């Protein structure tokens, strides 16, 4: 079961690369912020339909949740604007490896300190080695830009 979940995550990551590839040209045509807005508009519409047909009918109020849990709503557009602006300049591969490096670094910290309600998973030598390999990949892909 865990292997299936890992494969789904890898497929999701592949989708982010496609999204980055689409955002650059869209941003050039309609503007960076309109491109970001369109991505979130389509996503919000799809999510609304999924909630309407498949979501639970009785859930706690959105407004009863701690305000810090809504910060992802601020981080998402920042991420998409960054992708929209930088992908045409540095390329999809470099953008994705850079994003991955930041995600893994911050994820290790979040897991290690059990932030945001995450289960504590201490940083060990294997996780550090994985981060080093990502940094090496970032260096090799970026070598022509340095």
Return mean pLDDT, the chain: 92
Q: Is 53 inside a domain boundary?
A: yes
What is the C-alpha R_g of the chain? 18
Q: Is 70 inside a domain boundary?
A: no
The CA-CA-CA angle for residues 20, 23, 25, to 5°, reads 120
Q: Is 123 inside a domain boundary?
A: yes
What is the rounded average pLDDT of the residues 71-87?
A: 90
pLDDT per position as a tens digit, 19-42: 999 998 999 999 999 999 999 999
Q: Is 67 inside a domain boundary?
A: no
Q: How far apart are CA 117 and CA 140, in angstroms?
A: 35
How many structural domains does the chain have? 1
- Taking the CB of residue 123, how many other CB atoms lie within 10 A of it? 13
pLDDT beyond 80 at 78: yes
Q: Is 33 inside a domain boundary?
A: yes
Q: How far apart are CA 37 and CA 28, in angstroms?
A: 14
pLDDT at 106: 96
CA dihedral of residues 68, 107, 12, 28 (deg, nearest 10): 70
List the one residue out of 130, 142, 70 whose CA is nearest residue 104.
Answer: 130
Contacts of 97 (CB under 8 A, 6+ apart): 134, 137, 138, 141, 142
pLDDT beyond 90 at 47: yes
Q: Is 58 inside a domain boundary?
A: yes
Phi-psi region of 116 (alpha: psi -120 to 50; beta: other; left: phi over 0): left
Provide the domain limits for residue 9: 2-62+75-142
The rounded percent of the chain whose pLDDT value lies above 90 is: 77
């Amino acid at each position: 079961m865990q292997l299936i979940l890992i494969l789904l995550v890898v497929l999701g990551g592949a989708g982010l690369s496609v999204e980055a590839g689409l955002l650059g040209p869209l941003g050039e045509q309609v503007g960076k912020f309109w491109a970001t807005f369109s991505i979130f508009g389509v996503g919000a519409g799809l999510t609304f339909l999924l909630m309407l047909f498949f979501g639970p009918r009785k859930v706690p109020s959105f407004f009863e949740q701690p305000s810090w849990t809504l910060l992802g709503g601020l981080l998402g557009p920042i991420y998409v604007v960054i992708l929209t602006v930088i992908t045409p300049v540095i390329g999809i591969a470099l953008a994705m490896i850079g994003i991955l490096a930041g995600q893994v670094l911050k994820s290790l910290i979040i897991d290690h300190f059990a932030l945001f309600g995450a289960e504590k998973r201490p940083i060990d030598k294997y996780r550090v080695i994985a981060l080093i390999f990502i940094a090496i990949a970032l260096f090799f892909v970026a070598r022509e830009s340095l």
